[in-house]
Every structure is written in structure tokens, then in C-alpha cells.
Structure 1
Amino acid sequence: MTLLLIATGDLIAHRAAGVATGRELLELAGPPPERVVVEDFLAEPSWDTSVSTQLALARRVRKALAEDEFTGVVVTHGVDTLEETAFLADLMAGPARGGIVFTGALRPLHHAAPDGPANLAASLAAAADPALRGAGAVVCFGDELHAARWATLTNAGFASTPHPLLGRVVDGRPRLTSTPPFRPPHPGGEPEADVALLKTYPEMPASLLTMVTDLGAQGVVLEGTGEGNVPVELFGTIMGLIQMDIPVVVASRANTTEIGMAESMGAISAAGLSAQKARIALMAALSKGGGVAAAAGYFAGL
């Protein structure tokens, strides 16, 4: 029974003099529940995490469980884009069984009260427990467990609102208080890296939408209003992109499944995902080089 700890640096590893290694973080977290293999992974700061880094982490997580026979994987990650990387790992994990836990910190090691060591200790305990095997990727923060599909960064850590908390780590054991989301469809190939995300606003010029596709975007996610509506100025361009087999997914800033009149133009509902998560899902949907039909089918299965 062996866990894999993938340490990417960032705030959880920051101290007054340099950055702690994964092994040093493990020592600060206290005795692990079982043997741990540590891999230090060179990554950009979380606020600038590249798609190639996110894909490499997701691939490593999947291989660790599907081929290398680790019982669970813990990834330390900066909080800024942690939820996106965790969701990508969730989508790419497929049928691989084993705990997948992402964690980080809001306060560095040189802070008077660093939160990273406790978060890592709870994450290792969660990843080692059979309760999380097959549950997909989760985010562990402040002893709370959030399904990667719903985890959202807040100024106090992570939340799952409006969805229920997946569970908590109590006395070193995860206790699930709700049912994990059903497993998403496996993309079956390498996700498409070039997917754009645009936040809409009243009288937004359609040229902003065509600009990203002219630059090579193979799909576009638009964040609309509470009911998923987007400016009328974009309707013609959305229809044109659909006819070019470039999928347009519309997410709601309130995470509803409605997308207003854009649906009649051929746009695809983000299925309640936040805009940033919808971008990750669209990357996965286009993994086999498909277009609108592939994206629509994938989101229908979310």
C-alpha cells in the first residue's frame, strides 16, 4: 500500500529561505498513514499554470493509479488554478480506482500559523482511505472534502456551494456526508489545449469572439448572465462558428443549466459547470478532434 505525493511548490511550500521540497513538506505533515513516494514536479506559479503543466499532472495522476499501482495520489498545487487542474485530473482519470486528492495553502510556511502541513496531513489520510477509491478527484482544504467538479476557490479556501460538501476528515479518517458526483465520461484521447474562455457583457462586440477563433481556438466558452443569456450582438457570430464546426459552450455566472436564446443558435449548455470548469470539460470533449457534435454529446453526459 503506497501513496504518491506530487509536489508542485507554490505557496504551500514557500518559506522565508527558498521553497520546501516534497519530502520536506511530508516531514512537516507528520507521520503518513502508509508509505509515500515523493515526486517534485516543476510548475509555473498557480496564477499562470500552463495547459501543458495541467495535462502533464493529470496524465501522471492517471498513470500512477492505472499502471503504477499506487493506492492513492496527493497533489500539492497553488490555489489560483487548483480547481481547474483537479477537474482535468478528474476527467482524465477514467475508470482508474484510487484516491485522488488536491490540496494547497493560503498561508506560507513562514507564516505564524501555516495551514499547508495540516492540509497535507488530511489529504494523505483521505487518499489512503478506501472511502475515496473510485470517487474521482477531490479537493481537501481545512479538513473539508470537495468534489473536484464543484470545488470553487473563495477568500477562505474552497467551497462546493450550491452543491453539498462531499465530506470531512475527522480524526485522520475521511467521512463522506454526500454521494460523490457520477463519474464523467472519459475523453478517450488527449484533450484539446486551445479552448478560449470569454466573459460576456452588454454590447460586447462580436469581434472579440471571432478574434480568439482566428487565433486558433478550437472551441469557445462564454460566461453569460444568471440564466446564461449572452448579448444579442453575439448571436450571428455564434451561429457562424457552429456552422464552421467550432463548438460554443455557454456557462452561467450562477452555474445554472439554462443558456437562454443562445441555445436556439446552436450553443451548448455547460451543464451547470462554472465557466472555468466548462473550459476544461470542452478541452476533454474535443480530445478526439471532434467538433460541435462531439462537444454536445460530451456535455450531455456530464
Structure 2
Amino acid sequence: MKRVLLLATGDTIAHSYDPDRPGAASGAELLAALPSGAITADVVAEDVMAGPSWDMSPSTMLELARRTRSAILERGFDGVVVTHGADGLEETAYLADLLAGRAAERGAIVLTCAVRSRDEPSADGPRNLASSVTAAADEALRGAGAVVCVNDEIHAARWVSMTDATGVAAFSSAPFPPLGRLSGGRVETMIPPPPRPPAFGGDPASDVALIKTYPGIEAGLLTAAVDAGAQGIVLEGTGTGNVPVGLFSAIAELTEWGIPVVVASRCRTGRGPLGEVGPVGGLAATVGAIGARGLAPQKARYALMVALGTGGIDAVRAWFDRL
């Protein structure tokens, strides 16, 4: 029988508003509430925290990512399931994916959540948890890296995003299809997973700023973020990686200081380099900005955190070139 570690972090999947059983259930209690026969693996439950995912600190996300990796590489588990809040799920999933390393080859890393509390009619948490344990024990996900399992769909961490804050089909990989789905008690893969991220170096940086650009944005916002301690900046631009020209001097200055500035887009873009997206796109590359390689801005932030652990700005640029 496969061994699976459950790391429980509270939030909606564990919470109840029922006055007869209020508060957050532990990981063991969530497992015990599942119907007999729903779990076909040997599951060990450990509680990490109980709090809202929208307020989860980067240090807690890093702890979860490291614990998932060590559970497979050092503790011999065949897979790991993390119960999480829906709000920050895609970010923790991608950080876990970036830091998985060889663990991605040896076992499955599955994150799940719920949009309905456990005392609501048709609560989605129990099925999501049972499906996630099944997925974590399935050989089909070896090599796929971290995934999100909700509503019997499996989404690659790199592609997944939360698109509906109220419906049980809350996550999408669009424009990609889901990586797979649960059917008949096993994983059916639908497409190959995205390429594995580059190897990571030392400890990820803990302070990277994410700034949404807009017409008329003051360049001083970038330097203010660095003055406040940011070790790198991700700019959320538009189109294929456009940011206001008024930021170019600040980008060039920060680049000279060794502070990497990564440009992502609020739109879906390709994985090509920032300076090769067309004659009128990605002009920030001419002053030293680094392209996010198609990552959503919130995920580019965690990628930059990891890339900063590999060294200075040249190492960061080289890491993103392989992303």
C-alpha cells in the first residue's frame, strides 16, 4: 500500500460554522470524516497551521514546499497532499513545484482546497481530499511536479489559476487543458506536464515586490520598494510585456545596482524572451528587464524569489532563460 503524507493548513476545507462542531478540523479529523473505503492509501496526517491562505506568509509557504520535498526524498513517502485555502493555492503550489527538485521524479505533490466549508450542504472538501489522496498515490503523476486537484481535475502548478471564487470548479489551466482527471479511482492523464523548472540554488529570497503598472505610475514606487528591503521586483505589465516608458530609467538604474526587475503580463503570453516578442513589445528588455517567460505575475514573484537564491542578477537572468 502506498504511503501518503497529509499536511493540513486549515482554512475553508477544515472550517465549520455549525455551533455543534465549530472551528477548524485537524488533518486526522478530515480523514476520519471520509466515507469508508474512500482512502486506499496509508495516510499520515500532520497539522502545519490553521489560518487564512490569503494571509499566509512566504515563510510558511517555503516551509510547506520544503516539507513536501523532504517527505518524499528523506521520509520515504510515495506522495504528499496539502490541504490549503483556495485564495493562495496556486502560489503555494507553484513554489512547491519550483523547489521539488528530485522529489518530483519520485512521488506526487498534490494541493487541494474547498470553496464550501465542511458543514455546508454538498461540501466539496471531502471529495477533493479523497481524490487528492488517490492522485498522490498514483504512479501516473510521477515526474509531473506539484499539481492542484479540485473537482476531480488535476492542474499543473505552472498553469493553474483561480478563476471563480464561489463555484466548485474554481480553478482552470486555460488556455491549456487540465493535466488529468480522476476517473474510476485512478488518474487519467490528458496532456504531458509542462517542462520542469531549472534547478534551484541556495535559499530563496524572502522579499520580492510585485507592482501592478498603470498609466502615469511613478517610477519612485520601484526605488521605494527597494529602499524598503525588496531584493527584486516583478512588474505586472500589459500585452506581451509592456510597461510605461516612464519606468525605464528606474529599471535601468536598479539593474545597474544588481536588483533584478522581472516583467510579467496580466495577459496570457508565450514563453519566449522579453525582447523577442515583436517590434513594439517587450521594450523594457532594452534597459535590462527580465521576461517572466509566460508566468502570471503572482507566480513570477515566487520564481524570482527562487532565482535570487542562485546568485546575483546575471545568475537570475540565466535562470529565467531556462524557465
Shorter-chain TM band:
over 0.9
Contact 2:108 2:144 in 1 (8 A): yes
1:292 is displaced (CA, Å) by 1.7
Q: Secondary structure at the match of 2:116?
A: coil
**Aligned partner of residue 24 in structure 2, secondary structure:** coil
Q: Distance in 2 between matches of 1:181 and 1:118?
A: 26
- 1:148 is displaced (CA, Å) by 0.4
CA distance in 1, matches of 2:134, 2:256: 50
Aligned pair in 2 of structure 1 residues 21, 148: CA closer, same or farther (>3 Å)? same
Q: TM-score with structure 2 length normalisation?
A: 0.91
Matched letter for residue 111 of structure 2: F
1:1-302 aligned within 5 A = 1-15=2-16, 16=18, 17-30=22-35, 31-96=38-103, 97-155=106-164, 156=167, 157-257=170-270, 258=277, 260-288=282-310, 290-302=311-323
**SS state at 2:251 partner:** helix
SS at match of 1:140: strand
Instruction: Please say if residues 46 and 78 of structure 1, whose CA atoms lie closer than 8 Å, have aligned partners that are also in contact.
Output: yes
Q: State the Cα deviation string for residues 71-125 of structure 1 (Å, max 9, x = none).
A: 0000000011111101111111101120100000000011111000000011000
Shift of 1:44: 3.4
One-letter code aligned to 2:191: S
What TM-score results when the alignment is normalised by the length of structure 1? Answer: 0.97
| Per-residue deviation, residues 205-246 of structure 1 (Å, max 9, x unmatched) | 011111100111110000001221101110000000000010
Q: Which amino acid aligns with 1:292?
A: I
Structure 2 residue ranges without an equivalent (≥5): 271-276
The residue identity in structure 2 corresponding to 1:49 is M
Q: CA deviation at 1:188?
A: 2.5
- Contact persistence 1:43–1:53 (CA under 8 A): no
Whether contact under 8 Å (1:43, 1:49) holds in the other structure is no
SS of alignment partner, residue 168 of structure 1: strand
User: 1:44–1:50: 8 Å Cα contact kept in structure 2?
Assistant: no
Partner AA of 1:297 in structure 2:
A
Q: What is the DSSP-based 3-state SS (H/G/I as helix, E as strand, rest coil) of the residue aligned with 2:97?
A: helix
SS at structure 2 position matched to 1:108: coil
Distance 1:300 1:29, change over 3 A: farther
- State how far apart, in whole Å, the 2-side matches of 1:44 and 1:198 are: 25
Q: Separation in 2 of the partners of 1:164 and 1:117?
A: 24
* Deviation, structure 1 residue 43: 4.5
- Extract unaligned runs of 5+ from structure 1: none
Q: Distance in 2 between matches of 1:190 and 1:291?
A: 13
Identity of aligned residues (%): 57
- Per-residue deviation at 1:164? 2.3
The alignment yields a C-alpha RMSD, in angstroms, of 1.1
SS in 2 for 1:139: strand
The count of aligned residue pairs is: 301
Alpha-carbon offset, residue 41 of structure 1: 0.8
Question: Is contact 1:190-1:287 (8 Å) kept?
Answer: yes
